[in-house]
Amino acid sequence: MDVTEVRTWVIFYLLSFVVLLVALFITTQNDSRLWISLMLVIVIVGVNFFLLFAELKRYRARKAFMHRMSQFDETVTERDLSGRR
């Protein structure tokens, strides 16, 4: 993971934490605004899962690409100097 990606994740999780704190504050009030806090929690958890699965998919694709490239390098190095295998 690059340094810029770490910064993005830190900012995202800080914003998620603030939204969850707002949801907790709304929940502790005695009004009938419980649905707003539940909606905020569901949205934050859903976005987190979506981003986690997208990151895992991107990691798998990168790993498969690196595996294909390493196989390509092996086929190139199997030839000798005359061009024969």
Q: Give the N- to C-terminal CA distance of the chain in Å, as an integer.
A: 38
User: 18-55 pLDDT, tens per residue?
Assistant: 988 888 888 888 777 788 888 888 888 888 888 888 88
The burial of 41, by beta-carbon neighbours within 10 Å (0-12 exposed, 13-18 middle, 19 or more buried), is given as: middle
Q: Would you state the pLDDT for residue 5?
A: 63
Q: What's the gap between Cα 4 and its chain centre?
A: 13
Per-residue pLDDT of 50-78, as tens digits, reads 888 888 888 888 888 888 888 875 555 55
Residue 53 has what pLDDT? 83
Statement: residue 8 has pLDDT above 60: yes
Binned at pLDDT 50, 70 and 90, residue 3 comes out as: very low
| CA dihedral angle for residue 78, residue 81, residue 84, residue 85, rounded to 10 degrees | -20
The structure tokens 């998620």 sit at 16
How do the domains of the chain map onto residue ranges?
3-77
